[in-house]
């Protein structure tokens, strides 16, 4: 019985550690997105695109949506072409269109 108690306590500690690490990761991703958008707002489009592309490659839906727009309208709006591989275009399109809850949450 004492051994089961140790196992249960150990599992609780491991669960808490995982939850804390996940929260820290989410906060870091939000900070990275905010930093990318600050670069965008400051008209540093190349830096913003590079940061957004990394986030989009990691599964960030709002970053994927913006990166796609930057690829599509790069020459007209951002002073130069932004490149992305066919895989990135496909993946980002899927992300941007299939996760409306993440896009709405990112806007807040």
The reported pLDDT for the residue numbered 22 is 43
Give the DSSP letter string of 24-46.
Answer: HHHHHHHHHHHHHHHHHHTT-HH
Query: pLDDT tens digit string along 52-97?
Result: 999 999 999 999 999 999 999 988 988 888 999 999 999 999 999 9
Q: Is the pLDDT of residue 24 over 50?
A: no
Contact 65, 103 (CB under 8 A): yes
Contact 67, 52 (CB under 8 A): yes
Measure CA 106 to chain center.
Answer: 10
Q: Please enumerate in sequence order all residues whose Cβ is within 8 A of that of 91, keeping only pairs 6 or more positions apart, or say none.
A: 56, 57, 64
Q: Is the pLDDT of residue 16 over 70?
A: no
Domain chopping of the chain, boundaries:
29-107
| pTM value surpassing 0.85 | no
Mean pLDDT of 26-46: 92
The reported pLDDT for the residue numbered 17 is 40
Percent of the chain having pLDDT more than 90?
A: 55
Query: pLDDT tens digit string along 60-69?
Result: 999 999 999 9
């Amino acid at each position: 019985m004492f051994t089961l108690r140790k196992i249960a306590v150990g599992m609780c500690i491991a669960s808490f550690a995982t939850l804390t690490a996940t929260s820290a990761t989410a906060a870091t991703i939000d900070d990275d997105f905010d930093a990318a958008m600050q670069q965008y707002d400051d008209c540093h489009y190349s830096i913003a695109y590079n940061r957004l592309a990394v986030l989009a490659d990691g599964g960030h839906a709002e970053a994927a949506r913006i990166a796609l727009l930057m690829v599509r309208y790069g020459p007209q709006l951002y002073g130069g072409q932004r490149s992305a591989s066919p895989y990135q275009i496909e993946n980002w399109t899927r992300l941007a269109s299939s996760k409306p809850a993440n896009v709405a949450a990112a806007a807040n």
